[in-house]
Amino acid sequence: MSTLGELGEAGILARILPILSGAANTERTLIGPGDDAALLAVPSGSVVITTDTMIEGKDFLLRGDAPGRSPLGSTGEEIGHKLAVQNLADIAAMGAEPTALVLSLSAPATTPLALIEGIARGLAARSARAGAVVIGGDLGGADMISLTVTALGELVPGLGGRAIRRDGARVGDVVAVGTPQLGRSAAGLALLLGGHDPAELGDVQRGAEGALEFHRAPEVDLEAGHRLAAALGHDLHAMIDVSDGLLRDAGRLADASGVRIHLDADGLATMAEALRPLADSLGQDPSAWVLGSGEEHAMLICLPPSALQAARDVLRDAGRDLTVVGRVLPAGEEGPRATAAGVNEQGADGSALGWDHFE
């Protein structure tokens, strides 16, 4: 089993570049990996850019028995898949389609090449599904694996060069998410960090496996972002991906838009009920998972009620659906914020819900 230290930079690149840029000969890639920088054509005239990092121990645990690892941890493919999803979701949430990615990869010299090849495969495969290719990157040494992707994209035609922002929510809008189920990533994280092997959880084994799988490699309808933008145009008032928890990310939308977003729809209760058996077995609150789960990456949107059916139809054509989770209200005396039924309506603290790297 060769390690990065045995191969050296040139040897590593010789192994991972064919994986990363196997499909890089798209029309847009004028210069791919191999030169000082890549050259990308941007036919629409503007480029959407985002970046996101995953650090071993902070954002994922490697699968294994060694200290700092977990038998429930991630494979290389899963890490690469999640790295793609995190970045592609931010492109999607602007109403854009991804075109290209660059990968900055730092790791200890003792890292097996097979793990890095797996990460490359996961990243390239999920990106390819979204129509994007890896066009470059960087290698470095580090005490733990650190992965930073920068993703580029272009706005969908028909929006007149307009991106879907966080600040367009209007009083009276419906708030919805592009998934039937939120909360699985938090459930999976609880299982991972608690060391709960699904095989030992009896009746809830299947649910636990699904939550762990979703946490390690979220399967998310990212196309919803640009499909909704293209179909609804100006009726898609605001959009964000749920990366730090529904309540927290709805709060960001509310804040940017100067409104209150109240989360109270039946859809949320249905999501919580689906997770209740698993939550009960861990002594946790399924509603807190639904409202607080980060790393979900589903699209959270605000749109006028008159556009809801059209939005549903767009997603249903692709076998997906939209779940209504709340509505947009005037900011009121307490100012712009997101509230959830029973959580922080009377100003009670809902801040424990959701993710912040430094809290």
Ligand X SMILES: Cc1ncc(C[n+]2csc(CCOP(=O)(O)O)c2C)c(N)n1
**Chain positions contacting ligand X, by CB under 6 A:** 52, 59-61, 86, 189, 243-244, 294-295, 355
**What CA–CA distances, in Å, run from 315 to 26, 179, 212, 225?**
27, 10, 26, 10
Question: Residue 80's closest CA among 112, 122, 130?
Answer: 122
Candidates 78, 90, 221, 223; binder of Mg ion (CB under 5 A) is 90
Which partner in Mg ion, ligand X, ligand ATP, none is near 295 (CB below 5 to 8 A by kind)?
A: ligand X
Binding flag, residue 148, ligand ATP (CB under 6 A): no
Cβ(296)–Cβ(179) under 8 Å? yes
Residue count, binding to Mg ion (CB under 5 A):
3
- Give the residue with the Cβ less far from Mg ion, 24 or 353: 353
Which partner in ligand ATP, ligand X, Mg ion, none is near 60 (CB below 5 to 8 A by kind)?
A: ligand X
By DSSP bridging, strand 259-263 and strand 337-340 are: parallel
- Give the residue with the Cβ less far from ligand ATP, 33 or 292: 292
Binding flag, residue 78, ligand ATP (CB under 6 A): no
Binding flag, residue 185, ligand ATP (CB under 6 A): no
Q: How far is the CB of 243 from ligand ATP (least distance, A)?
A: 3
Binding flag, residue 243, ligand ATP (CB under 6 A): yes
Binding flag, residue 59, ligand ATP (CB under 6 A): no
Tell whether residue 295 is among the known ligand binding residues: yes
**CA-to-CA distance for 266 and 323, rounded, in angstroms?**
9
Question: Residue 16's closest CA among 98, 115, 145?
Answer: 115
Tokens, residue 110: 């003792």
Tell whether residue 95 is among the known ligand binding residues: no
Q: How far is the CB of 6 from Mg ion (least distance, A)?
A: 38
By DSSP bridging, strand 238-241 and strand 96-107 are: unpaired
Tell whether residue 138 is among the known ligand binding residues: yes
**CA-to-CA distance for 335 and 262, rounded, in angstroms?**
13
**CA-to-CA distance for 55 and 325, rounded, in angstroms?**
32
Binding flag, residue 52, Mg ion (CB under 5 A): no
- Residue 41 is which amino acid? A
**CA-to-CA distance for 167 and 121, rounded, in angstroms?**
36
Q: How far is the CB of 336 from ligand X (least distance, A)?
A: 21
Binding flag, residue 244, Mg ion (CB under 5 A): no
Stretch of residues binding Mg ion (CB under 5 A), selected from 87-95, 136-144, 156-164, 221-229: 87-95
**CA-to-CA distance for 174 and 4, rounded, in angstroms?**
51
Q: How far is the CB of 359 from Mg ion (least distance, A)?
A: 18
**CA-to-CA distance for 109 and 324, rounded, in angstroms?**
48
Tokens, residue 91: 């492109």
Binding flag, residue 52, ligand ATP (CB under 6 A): yes
Which partner in Mg ion, ligand ATP, ligand X, none is near 61 (CB below 5 to 8 A by kind)?
A: ligand X
- Give the residue with the Cβ less far from ligand ATP, 19 or 102: 102
Which partner in Mg ion, ligand X, ligand ATP, none is near 209 (CB below 5 to 8 A by kind)?
A: none
Binding flag, residue 296, ligand ATP (CB under 6 A): no
Stretch of residues binding ligand ATP (CB under 6 A), selected from 157-165, 175-183, 237-245, 332-340: 237-245
Size (the chain), residues: 359
**CA-to-CA distance for 83 and 126, rounded, in angstroms?**
9
The rounded Cα 103 to chain-centroid distance in angstroms is 17
**What CA–CA distances, in Å, run from 61 to 178, 193, 336?**
28, 9, 36
336 secondary structure, DSSP code: S
Q: Give me the half-sphere count of Cα atoms (radius 13 Å) on the Cβ side of residue 131.
A: 14
Tell whether residue 264 is among the known ligand binding residues: no
Beta partners for residue 324, in sequence order? 176
Stretch of residues binding ligand ATP (CB under 6 A), selected from 116-124, 137-145, 214-222, 239-247: 239-247
| Residues that constitute the known binding site for substrate | 59, 295, 355
In the complex, the residues that contact ligand ATP under the rule CB under 6 A are 52, 90, 241, 243-244
| Residues that constitute the known binding site | 36, 50-52, 59, 90, 137-138, 166, 241, 243-244, 295, 355
In the complex, the residues that contact Mg ion under the rule CB under 5 A are 90, 241, 243
